[in-house]
Amino acid sequence: MSVYSVQGCRVKKVMFTILKMQLFENLEIFYKKQDIPSISVGDTLRSTLYLELPKKVGADEKKEKERIQVYEGVIIAKHRNTKMANATITVRKVFQGVGIEKVILLHSPWVKDMNVISRSKVRRAKLYFLRERTGKSARLKRRF
């Protein structure tokens, strides 16, 4: 009997993982976007993000303030394949002398638009070395 219960437990775990995989595939089909440009590390990207900010009006009332934010910077890392539903990129920009990095989920419904402004010639998969560089040493060669 103990052997049967252990095997039954294994069967339940296998069935549960199969159901999770099927659910993830369905979500992937639902959320995947078709209009994502071909992006690579070193590209300068301009993305339009939709934001909902909570705003307190009264004692118990809350309104949501909506706005669109345009974020422009250099792609320093691609995480996972861009064709997958959970693919992300890390975009870096320098604003008032301070480096700002943002992780953007490519297939998110909050990302409205993505445009590649320029492409750069790089020889690395991750450009984390740009974090320590400032000024002219942080420039990348343009690719035509």
Q: Is the pLDDT of residue 6 over 60?
A: no
Rounded to 5 degrees, φ, ψ at 126 are -130, 135
Residue of 105, 77, 81 whose CA lies nearest to 92: 77
Residue of 48, 51, 54, 38 whose CA lies nearest to 116: 38
**Taking the model in full, what pTM does it have?**
0.74
C-alpha span between 66 and 45 (Å, rounded): 23
Q: What is the pLDDT of residues 66-77, one digit of tens each?
A: 889 999 999 999
pLDDT-based confidence at residue 8 (cuts at 50, 70, 90) = low
Q: What is the pLDDT of residues 30-61, one digit of tens each?
A: 778 888 889 999 999 999 999 887 777 666 66
CB of 44 closer than 8 Å to CB of 92? no
